[in-house]
Structure 1
Amino acid sequence: MRPAQAALAHVLREHAIRTGEFVLASGRKSEWYVDGRLVTFRGDCVHIVGRAVMEALDAAGAPQFDAVGGLAIGADPVTVAVAAASGARGFAVRKEAKDHGVGGRIAGPLQRDDRVLVVDDTVTSGGSLLQAIDAVHGFGCTIVAAAALLDRGGELALRLEEIGVPYVPVLTAVDLGFAMGS
């Protein structure tokens, strides 16, 4: 395991993993849950998150990007951590378009034709990440890669491959001692 990846696994185990009975955003039931926000919103962990994502992207040979973001709220602290680690601009994708102010689903300095990294904290089926990709693509940007701090489902890679988006999970369920899809 790479150094920042190992540090991320450690802080997730220490602060974010819960056992019991849970219903995931995907609708599936699970005996374990990772509340990534218990790590990503910690000031003492933000640098670990940013470094772990950048380390994984570098190891995977992912292309350069101008902007990073994902679906609010889970992706927001990941966005800030990666923006700080990379120097890229950060943005958020709202779940619904605003009808006041500047409106729209995109918040932040995203520009048409940007090369974009779309991120999320934890994915099972990847629905939130795919929603963000659709919104960013519709805004006029090129998605150069997608990354998740934790892939617990193992299905997203194939779905992203089908639409031509390289995928980099920083950690998988197996890295934390659980079975994929459990």
Structure 2
Amino acid sequence: MELTTAHLAAARAELIAGIKEYAITYGDFTLKSGRHSSWFIDTKRAICRHPILFRMAQLSLVALLDEVTAIGGLTMGADPVAFATATLGQAEGRPIGAFSVRKEVKEYGQGGRIAGALDQSDRVCVVEDTPSRGTSLLAAIEAVQATGATVVQALAIVDRGGTAASVVSPIPFVALVSAPELGLPYEGGLEPTT
């Protein structure tokens, strides 16, 4: 189904409203980077709800470069994004493989870090739900490249920190929503842990 500009704008507005309603909390949080923040986004609390999951998948599918044949990233942040987008892609006539990157190498069975559909010939979009600095995207990119597949794009649902694009460069990066669009500052002004 071809989405019009009006449909995409409505889907994006619904995604933003869902993130604001379900995913943002305020308090004193220590981030993965060790920095402190007065707010936290748990994007999965929003995007795993219907119809927000559907809207996120629609917007992700539209944002994918035409050459992308597989989508995935570090588990858990990437999983709902990758699997929902691949499922919708199949329904829309754009088959895309989906996979997860384990945080640690599996030492039994077939081993490795990749679980799911990823082939050496794939052109990959690496995804993350809410990167602060982009390090999870970078770790996923390195794991995918180690398989011989080619990473051609990186995608985030919410760009929390504003630095992911520079961290994954020269790989093109796109975020469906930025922290400032949610009324929140980028991570840059946060205090380091003492």
Shared fold (TM-score, shorter chain, > 0.5): yes
Contact map agreement 2:14 2:52 (CA 8 A) in 1? no
Contact map agreement 1:63 1:144 (CA 8 A) in 2? no
Q: Distance in 1 between matches of 2:131 and 2:155?
A: 10
Q: CA deviation at 1:7?
A: 1.4
Matches for 1:20-169 after TM superposition, within 5 Å: 20-55=27-62, 57=63, 62-86=65-89, 87-161=95-169, 164-169=170-175
Count of residue pairs brought into register by the alignment? 176
Q: CA deviation at 1:90?
A: 0.4
Q: Distance in 1 between matches of 2:166 and 2:10?
A: 27
Letter in 2 for 1:167: F
Sequence identity, in percent?
A: 40
Letter in 1 for 2:77: G
Q: Return the match for 1:170 from 173, 176, 194.
A: 176
Q: Distance in 2 between matches of 1:78 and 1:165?
A: 19
Q: Deviations over 1:107-155 (max 9, x none)?
A: 0111112000100000110111110000001110111100000011111
Q: CA deviation at 1:52?
A: 2.0
Q: TM-score, normalised by structure 1?
A: 0.91
Any unmatched runs of 5+ in structure 2?
A: 1-7, 90-94, 190-194
Q: Distance in 2 between matches of 1:64 and 1:43?
A: 28
Q: TM-score, normalised by structure 2?
A: 0.86
Letter in 2 for 1:4: A
Letter in 1 for 2:85: V
Q: Distance in 2 between matches of 1:122 and 1:155?
A: 12
